[in-house]
């Protein structure tokens, strides 16, 4: 029998946080969600509002009452070509200093475990050809978002060693699921509209993680004794080429795919001329992670296949996103 824990989830009304809170509630856990807006997750989950997350945020009242585990999802999200004034400082203020602040106060409050959602980008933007990132690869973060997450990881591990609070770090690749936004949503819109896409020659492999699989893994990291002090990559366990991803989504959407076999060097050259080199790098490069450590140490396997996950996200798109 699994004893109930008192769990605090930051970023609880985000894409991942909302799904995690609902799943924790279903499993009988005592969940409190931290949000920065007044959006409701569900009437059954206690919600606490904070004005912001940085090195000055006072978490004393939020952490009071015997919180066992903090799952820290809240972050300044990565944006390609983020040119907003002060954006670099904002990554550090929220992702590094804000994380360190809540963790220090959590340790002082007697929190047993702190689960931190980091990013695959800590390891780099592209994995070596024919190989996957593993947890022992030397990190190579290339932008302020990734560097702020990497420094937060280091600060957490130092804090855990000093205070005894159990630290668990999770590095996901691109997360997709019902209600996904950004590039994944744009891809589905292109496919549904029948636009010809110049990606037929892309055979590079990328790791993805379905929202259901990520939530399942985070829940295991909350509970499993062997997760303490560890860093994990998580994915669907099925690396996929971009052209195969588009083909799978087309089938799930019930539309005919129109891919043009434009050579990769032409895609990169065209993107460079348009000032979209970062986009081309994501589309044309490989980014693979090895989940062997999670499988061996935690006896974890992704519960949802990509085929089923693609079907769910496509169904949600057809029911809701097209009408928004």
The answer to whether residue 145 is catalytic is yes
How far is Cα 135 from Cα 267, in angstroms, rounded to an integer?
31
Q: Quick check: 138 pLDDT over 90?
A: yes
Average pLDDT along the chain: 88
The pLDDT, as a whole number, for residue 3 is: 60
Please state the pTM of the whole predicted model: 0.90
- Taking only the tens place, the pLDDT of each residue in 280-296 is 667 767 899 999 999 99
The pLDDT, as a whole number, for residue 97 is: 95
**Residue ranges of the alpha helices (H) in the chain?**
15-26, 60-63, 87-91, 99-108, 144-163, 182-193, 211-223, 242-253, 264-273, 277-284, 292-298, 306-319
DSSP annotation of 96: I
The pLDDT, as a whole number, for residue 208 is: 96
Q: Which residue has the higher pLDDT, 114 or 78?
A: 114
Q: Quick check: 80 pLDDT over 60?
A: no
- Taking only the tens place, the pLDDT of each residue in 165-221 is 999 999 999 999 998 888 889 889 989 988 888 878 778 889 999 999 999 999 999
How far is Cα 228 from Cα 55, in angstroms, rounded to an integer?
25
- Which residue is it, tokens 């946080």? 17
- Taking only the tens place, the pLDDT of each residue in 10-61 is 999 899 999 999 999 999 899 999 987 665 565 667 888 888 888 999 998 8
What is the number of other CB atoms lying within 10 angstroms of the CB of residue 126? 18
Q: Which of 166, 157, 170, 169 is nearest to 228 (CA)?
A: 166
Q: Which residue has the higher pLDDT, 297 or 200?
A: 297
- Residues 220-242 have a mean pLDDT of 96
CATH number belonging to domain 6-171: 3.40.50.720
Active-site entry in 91, 140, 145, 195: 145
- pLDDT class for 85, splitting at 50, 70, 90? very low
Q: Which of 256, 224, 227, 251 is nearest to 311 (CA)?
A: 251
Q: Which residue has the higher pLDDT, 183 or 276?
A: 183
């Amino acid at each position: 029998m699994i004893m109930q824990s008192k769990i605090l989830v930051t970023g609880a009304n985000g894409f991942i946080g909302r799904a995690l809170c609902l799943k924790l509630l279903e499993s009988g856990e005592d969940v409190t969600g931290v949000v920065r807006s007044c959006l409701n997750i569900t009437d059954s989950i206690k919600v606490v509002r904070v004005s912001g997350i940085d090195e000055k945020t006072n978490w004393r009242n939020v952490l009071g009452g015997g919180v066992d585990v903090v799952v820290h999802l809240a972050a300044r999200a990565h944006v390609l070509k983020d040119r907003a004034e002060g954006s670099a400082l904002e990554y550090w203020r929220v992702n590094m200093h804000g994380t360190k602040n809540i963790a220090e106060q959590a340790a002082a409050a007697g929190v047993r475990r702190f689960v931190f959602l980091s990013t695959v980008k800590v390891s780099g933007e592209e994995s070596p050809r024919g190989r996957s990132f593993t947890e022992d690869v030397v990190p190579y973060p290339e932008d302020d978002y990734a560097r702020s997450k990497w420094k937060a990881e280091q600060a957490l591990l130092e804090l855990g060693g000093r205070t005894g609070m159990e630290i668990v770090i999770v590095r996901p690749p691109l997360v997709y699921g019902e209600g996904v936004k950004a590039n994944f949503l744009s891809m589905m819109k292109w496919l549904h509209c029948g636009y010809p896409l110049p990606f037929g020659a892309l055979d590079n492999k990328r790791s993805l993680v379905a929202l259901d699989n990520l939530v399942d893994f985070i829940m295991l990291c909350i509970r499993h004794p062997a997760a303490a002090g560890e860093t994990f990559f998580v994915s669907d366990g099925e690396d996929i080429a971009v052209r195969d991803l588009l083909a799978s989504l087309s089938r799930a959407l019930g539309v005919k795919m129109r891919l043009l076999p434009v050579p990769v060097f032409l895609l990169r050259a065209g993107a460079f001329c348009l000032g979209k080199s970062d986009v081309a790098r994501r589309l044309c490069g490989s980014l693979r992670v090895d989940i062997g450590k999670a499988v061996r140490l935690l006896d974890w396997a992704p519960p949802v296949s990509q085929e089923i996950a693609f079907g769910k996200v496509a169904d949600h798109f057809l029911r809701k996103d097209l009408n928004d």
